[in-house]
Amino acid sequence: MNIRLTPPSMAVFLISVVLAALAVLTMAGISIPVVSGNAMLLLAIAYGIMLFGVLVKGA
């Protein structure tokens, strides 16, 4: 099996980083109303978006 990895686009990278940062800030104790109860889920979504960007060419 040959999996070709490509760098994600800047937009995908920035979306993933912003979501991950929001999750980390929430875990650090900063209250963000939309994110507060779902920090780990948000972190998993950020990782999934980054994974999608790396696996799909042009994403």
Residue 1, domain member (yes or no): no
Question: Rounded to an integer, what distance in angstroms lies between the CA atom of residue 23 and that of residue 43?
Answer: 6
Higher-scoring residue by pLDDT: 59, 56: 56
Predicted pLDDT at 13? 94
- Residue at 34 is within a domain: yes
Structural domain boundaries enclosing 31: 10-55
Token digits for 22? 């929001």
The total of structural domains in the chain comes to 1
- pTM of the full structure: 0.84
Q: Does residue 57 surpass a pLDDT of 90?
A: no
Domain contains 25: yes
Residue 43 resides in a domain: yes
Whether 18 is covered by a domain: the verdict is yes
Q: Distance from CA of residue 56 to its chain's centroid?
A: 15
Asked if residue 4 is part of any domain, the answer here is no
Question: Is residue 2 in some structural domain?
Answer: no
- Is pLDDT of 19 > 90? yes
3 state SS of 25:
helix
**5 is a domain residue:** no
26/37 Cα distance (integer angstroms)? 9
